[in-house]
Amino acid sequence: MRILVGVKRVVDYAVKIRVKPDRSGVVTEGVQHSMNPFDEIALEEAVKLKEKKLATEVVAFSLGGPKSAEVLRTALAKGADKAIHVQVSDAEAGKVESFHVAKALKKVVELEKFDAVFLGKQAIDDDSSQTAPILAGLLDWPQALYASKVEDAGNGHVKVTREIDGGLDTIKVKTPFVLSADLRLNEPRYATLPNIMKAKKKPLKNIPIKDLAVDLTPQTETIEVTEPPVRQAGGFVEDVATLVSKLKEKGFVKA
């Protein structure tokens, strides 16, 4: 089984997000970035499958500006064999949507013949959670989303346990399939220095977006980005009687 793993370079989760003064988006310049945490988990699962000899090759993929190459190098250091960087300009990267990423992934899958695509369940910058299901739809492949456990089911099938609101849902999918990784699937390994050194020698292929003939026309337009409203200070009351009268006064309780 050859697995393609999508990884995205996102603003690091610990950064205090600031909205740009022109309200067109959030500040990403000069701010710490790292690999999307769910993508790290997806990558770890693919590498573990390779270590168990259930997969033969893991290829990392990223669609993004020039700096996405850093995240791909990290993926190589964490066990991917090769990497593919579909490059767009930084300006274009700001407008790329899940739909475009799914289309690009589809093209790469068709070119290089993968048996599975592993993605993080959502990116922590836009929280769209769309790329995996859109891709499955475009490829007409089964999808195993929010995976919390992956097991071999023999006969070209994989058993996936998924975390859903009601509990755990276990499904069996036939390869080729799309998987999205959820938080408790595994604990990603660290990129050790010797592996970082070895990763420098692993192949990283650059594909300009136009070579894939993917139309990047946005389907949505961002009208405005604002901070959530500042939480209003509460008030203190001295006793229960005052509390009740205040509640009545404000219309929360029938007078």
Partner 1 sequence: MLKLLPSFRIRLSKRCYAAVLAERNKNFAKVMESDVLAFENFLGKEGVLKDDITLNTTDWTGQFKGPGSVVLFPKNTEQVSAILAYCSKNKLAVVPQGGNTGLVGASIPVHDEVVLSLSKINNSFSFDDTMGILKCDAGFILEDLDNKLASLGYMVPFDLGAKGSCQIGGNIATCAGGIRLIRYGSLHAHLLGLTVVLPDEHGTVLHLGSDIRKDNTSLHTPHLFLGSEGQLGVITSVTMTAVPRPKSVQSAMLAVTSFEKCCEVLKLAKSSLSEVLSSFEFLDEATMKCLKTNLDLHSVLGTPSAFCVLVETSGSNEDHDMAKMGAFLDECLSKELILDGVLAGSSADATKMWQLRESAPLAVSRDGYVYKHDVSLPLKNYYELTNVMRERCGDLAKSVVTYGHVGDGNTHLNITSEKHSEALENLLYPFLYEWVVAHGGSISAEHGIGQLKLPYSELGKQPEERLLVKKLKNIFDPNGILNPYKMI
Long-range contacts, stretch 217-224, CB < 8 angstroms, 24+ apart: 218/95, 218/97, 219/97, 219/99, 220/97, 222/24, 222/25, 224/23
Does residue 190 interact with partner 1 by CB under 8 A?
A: yes
Member of 197, 243, 244, 253 binding partner 1 (CB under 8 A): 197
Positions in 57-86 near partner 1 (CB under 8 A): 74
Q: Which of 15, 171, 207, 216 binds partner 1 (CB under 8 A)?
A: 15
Q: Please report how close the Cβ of residue 192 comes to partner 1 at its closest, in angstroms.
A: 5
Residue window 106-135: x/- pattern of binding to partner 1, with contact defined by CB under 8 A = ------------------------------
Name the segment binding partner 1 (CB under 8 A); options: 29-37, 45-53, 211-219, 220-228. 29-37
C-alpha pair distances (Å), 77 with each of 13, 114, 121, 199, 223: 21, 21, 22, 5, 39
**Number of CB atoms found within 10 A of residue 244's CB:** 12
Nearer to partner 1 (CB atom), residue 76 or residue 108: 76
Q: Which residue's structure tokens are 């950064």? A: 15
How far apart, in Å, are the Cα atoms of 99 and each of 42, 84, 86, 214? 19, 18, 15, 10
Tell me the C-alpha to C-alpha distance, in Å, between residue 232 and each of 176, 237, 243: 51, 16, 18
In whole angstroms, the minimum distance from the beta carbon of 205 to partner 1 comes to 22
What are the structure tokens assigned to 27, written together?
């500040």
Tell me the C-alpha distance between 91 and 78, whole Å.
Answer: 29
What phi-psi label fits residue 80: left (phi over 0), alpha (psi between -120 and 50 degrees) or beta? beta
Examine residue 28 and tell whether it contacts partner 1 (CB under 8 A). Answer: no
- 14 binding partner 1? (CB under 8 A): yes
Q: Which stretch binds partner 1 (CB under 8 A): 114-122, 148-156, 171-179, 185-193?
A: 185-193
3-class DSSP state of 162: strand
Closest separation in Å from C-beta 3 to partner 1: 20
Comparing CB distances to partner 1, the nearer of 15 and 171 is 15
- In terms of CB distance, is 46 or 145 closer to partner 1? 46
Q: Which stretch binds partner 1 (CB under 8 A): 8-16, 95-103, 111-119, 138-146?
A: 8-16
Site residue total, partner 1 (CB under 8 A): 19
Among 171, 191, 207, 247, binds partner 1 (CB under 8 A): 191
Q: Are 178 and 141 in contact (CB under 8 A)?
A: yes
Query: Which residues of the chain form contacts with partner 1 (CB under 8 A)?
Result: 12-15, 30-32, 34-35, 37, 40, 74, 190-194, 196-197
